[in-house]
Structure 1
Amino acid sequence: MPTLEQLHEKMKKLQAQADALIAKKAQAAVDQIRKIMLTHGLTTADIEAKAKARRETKAANGIASNVQAKVAGTLKNGALPKYRHAKTGATWTGHGRAPAWIANVKDRTRFLITSGTDAARATSVGTAGKAKTAPGKAADVAGARAHKGQRKGPQPAKYFDPKTGATWSGRGPAPAWLAAAKDRTKFLIADAVATKTSTANKAGRPKSPPKRK
């Protein structure tokens, strides 16, 4: 039985023979390529230029394929709108259940979008409209919560300045003539509604001339 050293030595010899065969075949291939190049008058620059052109063509074809795939995917999964409401800007692709604004319309042609550009524009407008509506709704909800429980409309006067006749309902920022007052109770109106009406009438009614005797 051969020893480990003998096996290693045999492997080295076999590897050397394999390398020699590979080099011989490679040299034969190089000689054949050189012969072809000399026959056709080619240089390495010609070969590089041809390879570069092939790479660019392949890359261009790949980009075109990706674009076509994206367009196909868009048309399949996110179809462009086919109908649009002129007043509200709402759109419908024509697939699935029709929305309320077009469901009962007999002639839907007046809602048709004429071109693909218009359809894309309608899609972008609809998306922007939804984005703008969301904060608006949130603001409305917040405002409704903030004013929940408060009396709507003009508030009755609660404070009255006897010097200027100015009044304040007690809601919101206090006016200057009351903001600096330490004791606001002296400006309180016993009957807010009656006093406010009386003040308005006095301010708007001209003074009557003295009666002649």
Structure 2
Amino acid sequence: MPSLEQIQAKMKKLQVQADALIAKKAQTAVDQIRKIMLAHGLTTEDIEAKAKANREAKAANGSASKVKAKATGSPKGATLPKFQHPKTGATWTGHGRAPAWIANVKDRSKFLIETGADASHAATAGTVSKAKTTVKKAAAVAGAVVHKGQRKGPQPAKYLDPKTGATWSGRGPAPTWLAAAKDRSKFLIAAADTVVTTGSATGNISKPKSSAVNGTVAKQAATKKGVAKKAAAEKAATVAES
């Protein structure tokens, strides 16, 4: 029976022979590759560029496959949950036997999970609500800027209707009796000409009247009388001719 040393020596000899055969085959392969490269005018850079392109294409295909696998990762036939318990987080698809937490509930709508159109509607409603709030805030700020420096509370009367006695402060929309007037100066209240008349000993004070207003009323009355006289004269002439 051979000893251990003899077996190890034989193994080394065989390993040397195996290495020599491997080297010979490798050299043969290299010679063949070199011959092909010379025949086609190729270099090692060309081979490396081609190998790099192949590696990048393979990596890109692998990434696309992973994305597709994630997109289609949900199991076939899986039904999304339709109801959810607000406290425990337990869900139910709405198919099959109802769980205990919803089995005896008459109105199950409060357990519905917002999905699809419901979620979109809720998001749209929230956006509209935020937009309305923003518009209100902007209007409030604009109003504060416009009215900044103006007197607060009731404004003193600036215009007076001589017929009805109605007044207007000059701020805000003009009343009907003044809106169509081209010359508003004849409706102005002359504060300097205001006459305050003290009443009897009881302390009653009459309302202030403006001389300018009285003059305007007198002019209007005279105009009306002239028009009436002219109409009467024309009528009398017509009767006389007939």
- Band of TM-score, shorter chain: 0.3 to 0.5
Could you state the TM-score of these two structures normalised by the residue count of structure 1?
Answer: 0.38
Could you state the TM-score of these two structures normalised by the residue count of structure 2?
Answer: 0.34
> Which structure has the higher relative contact order (CA within 8 Å, separation 6+)?
1
Tell me which structure has the larger Cα radius of gyration: 2
